[in-house]
Amino acid sequence: MAEFNNIGLVGRPSHAGVVDTLRRLLDFLSLRDLTIIVDDLTADLIQGHGQRQCKREELSKFCDLVIVVGGDGSMLNVAKFVASDQVPVIGINRGRLGFLTDVLPDELEAVITAVIEGSYSIDSRFLLDVEARSGAAIAGQDQYLGSALNDVVLHPGKAAQMIKFELFIDDKFVYSQESDGLIVATPTGSTAYALSAGGPIMHPSLNAVVLVPMYPHSLGNRPIVVGGDSEICIVVSAKEILQPQVSCDGQVLYTASAGDELIVRKKAVPLKLIHPPEHTFYQACRSKLGWGSRLVRDDD
CA dist., res. 97 & res. 178, Å (int): 32
CB atoms within 10 A of CB 45: 19
For 86, counting Cβ atoms within 10 Å of its Cβ (0-12 exposed, 13-18 middle, 19+ buried), the class is middle
DSSP E strand boundaries for 65-199? 65-70, 89-93, 121-125, 128-133, 143-148, 151-155, 163-169, 172-179, 181-185
Alpha-carbon distance of 34 to 234, in angstroms, equals: 47
Instruction: Tell how strand 261-266 and strand 128-133 pair up.
Output: antiparallel
| 3-state class percentages of the chain: helix first, strand second, coil last, to nearest 5 | 25, 35, 40
In three-state secondary structure terms, 273 is strand
The catalytic residues are: 72
CA 12 vs CA 31, 44, 58, 77, 283: distances in Å: 24, 11, 17, 10, 25
Asked if 272 contacts 124 with a C-beta cutoff of 8 angstroms, the reply is: yes
How far is the C-alpha of 207 from the C-alpha of 143, rounded, in Å? 26
* Cβ partners under 8 Å of residue 14, min gap 6: none
Paired residues of 198 in beta bridges: none
Nearest to residue 167, comparing CAs of 154, 151, 150?
154
* Cα angle value 277/77/228 (rounded, 5°): 70
